A and B are shown apart, each in its own frame.
Chain A
């Protein structure tokens, strides 16, 4: 849970000025993305666009 929240925070602030800003509207969306990624489900509805965000992922 800690990991999810921490990574969500980092992604949220890296994606703030990115191309797909709407994907990471708020922390909830960011944590949704992190949970989906960590559980290896990977829906792909929320995608990080900035290089920094991709690197973190």
Chain B
């Protein structure tokens, strides 16, 4: 397809001078694709097309190629790029969102694609499995094969989760925003014992309290909360109701700040006044 387009461009350039004056007759006599060309290419594009006679094809120039050829105006570039639909489409897509954003979308939005939804479901199942292993692990009398199975499952889950954490760290906008995200902390915390166990402790050869580390595995259950909106709603509700409970305003602002400096409109009083009017001498 690209070569045909190239031929079109070149033919259009050749035929342009002769075609212009007597276009109607010529068009009927030679009903080729030349006539269908709607717009005359600009001078820079003409240069590009002429060079492409000797060289490969105009279709294979990307953005860098356009720069080399001196296609400066965006219209020229678009024309040149649109010779090959696939190239231009890829360029446009890449411009729209970078790879990191795409990975984040893949991980955070299960509805973004089929693969994402599959991966999401697998991750949820792995989380449940790894919590189940804690339960099975805690039972006093387990035989050897069960122990082995549990261990293998545990290692698999941990590898998947640590990979996910690495991806998230790689994809984050800034490390600061990432470190202030509680879900990120949960992710890191729930993976940390595994990483420690198989790197440092293995090297040192020490048996530190594994019971506590096992407890940390339960934190993986909180990873589920990241994916379900209800939990986020619950968090927001907790925050807001905490503000109501601890009258001083838990949301935003420092606890130690004196009350006098805090002039925030009180929702309860506002609604009360709206309903019953201002009543100062009530008490």
- A binding-site residues for B, Cβ under 8 Å: 2, 5-6, 9-10, 12-13, 16, 25-28
Interface residues of B, count at CB 8 A: 16
Q: Bound complex: CA of A25 vs CA of B214, how far in Å?
A: 16
Partner of A6, one of B135, B138, B221: B221
Q: Could you say which of B138, B139, B219, B222 has the most chain A C-beta atoms within 10 Å of its C-beta?
A: B138
Name the prevailing secondary structure of the B interface residues.
helix
Partner of B134, one of A9, A16, A25: A9
B212 CB contacts on chain A under 8 angstroms: 13
Question: Scoring B residues 121 to 157 as 1 if CB is less than 8 Å from chain A, else 0, what string do you get?
Answer: 0000000000100110011100000000000000000
In the complex, the answer to whether A2 meets B134 with C-beta atoms within 8 Å is no
Partner of B211, one of A2, A13, A26: A13
Q: Could you say which of B140, B212, B218 has the most chain A C-beta atoms within 10 Å of its C-beta?
A: B218
Q: Bound complex: CA of A13 vs CA of B216, how far in Å?
A: 11
In the complex, the answer to whether A26 meets B215 with C-beta atoms within 8 Å is no
Of chain A, the residue at the smallest CB distance from B137 is A27
If A27-B135, A28-B135 are given as contacts, then 12 extra A-B residue pairs at C-beta distance below 8 Å, sorted by A number, are: A2-B222, A5-B131, A5-B218, A6-B222, A9-B134, A9-B215, A12-B138, A13-B211, A13-B214, A16-B211, A27-B138, A28-B139
- B binding-site residues for A, Cβ under 8 Å: 131, 134-135, 138-140, 211-212, 214-215, 218-219, 221-222, 224-225
In the complex, the answer to whether B225 meets A2 with C-beta atoms within 8 Å is yes
In the complex, the answer to whether B218 meets A9 with C-beta atoms within 8 Å is yes
Of chain B, the residue at the smallest CB distance from A13 is B215
In the complex, the answer to whether B218 meets A26 with C-beta atoms within 8 Å is no
Q: List, sorted by A's number, 7 A–B pairs whose CB atoms are closer than 8 Å.
A: A2-B224, A2-B225, A5-B131, A6-B221, A13-B215, A16-B211, A25-B140
Name the prevailing secondary structure of the A interface residues.
helix
Q: How far is the CB of A32 from chain B (nearest CB, A)?
A: 12
Of chain B, the residue at the smallest CB distance from A14 is B215
Q: Bound complex: CA of A13 vs CA of B209, how far in Å?
A: 11
B134 CB contacts on chain A under 8 angstroms: 9, 27
